[in-house]
Structure 1
């Protein structure tokens, strides 16, 4: 019987989800920092931000020399298998897994996004 090598190039969380969680954690995060955390080029991270913005998952506003990002509350997963569920639960799980997130592990979003009741 032939030995099959395990596939190691895939992960459960996409870079799109990682970047959205990082934006939720820090709305003033720099593109350079997004790229570094995801081990991407700035160009690739910028393309992901544009994807997320174009799909309505986040908005970007220029404030002086910096961008300010805001995750859009109530957005749903894109795949039909999960499409009736909001992405908020996944994003907050990712934020809570990060030891560098705020003192209680919760981001400061400036709104009531975290307090929203999830759809089940």
Structure 2
């Protein structure tokens, strides 16, 4: 078995995981987002700051709660995805299945 072939890495970065978690539930608390992304709250907060600075999200305060808006028309930051926007990517990854028996997106029954 080659190094790195088992669960020591994920396809998405921490930034990707946090962005998908925000897209799934824009009213989530940082603690909820960090749990879903598998990161510490401190790391998650830093990523949220990065995503906001880059224009991928906006934060809106209502009382003590923060709500996020994802800007789906933003492009990817890597040259190999030049011209592509994040919206369709997030639509696929942020889908929530309604039951355990629902087929996965793109699969045939």
TM-score, shorter chain, exceeding 0.5: yes
Q: 1: CA distance between counterparts of 2:10 and 2:60?
A: 31
Q: TM-score, normalised by structure 1?
A: 0.73
Deviation at 1:5, TM superposition (A): 3.1
**Aligned 8 A contact 1:17 1:91 in 2:** no
Q: Deviations over 1:35-74 (max 9, x none)?
A: 1112211000000100100000000011111101000131
Superposition RMSD on alpha carbons, in Å?
1.8
User: Which residue is 2:103 aligned to?
Assistant: none
Q: TM-score, normalised by structure 2?
A: 0.80
Pairs within 5 Å for 1:1-120: 4-7=1-4, 8=6, 9-96=8-95, 98-99=96-97
- Which structure 2 residue ranges, 5 or more long, are not aligned? 99-109
SS at match of 1:81: helix
Q: 2: CA distance between counterparts of 1:5 and 1:24?
A: 34
Deviation at 1:6, TM superposition (A): 3.3
- Which structure 1 residue ranges, 5 or more long, are not aligned? 101-120
Q: 1: CA distance between counterparts of 2:89 and 2:72?
A: 13
Aligned length: 97
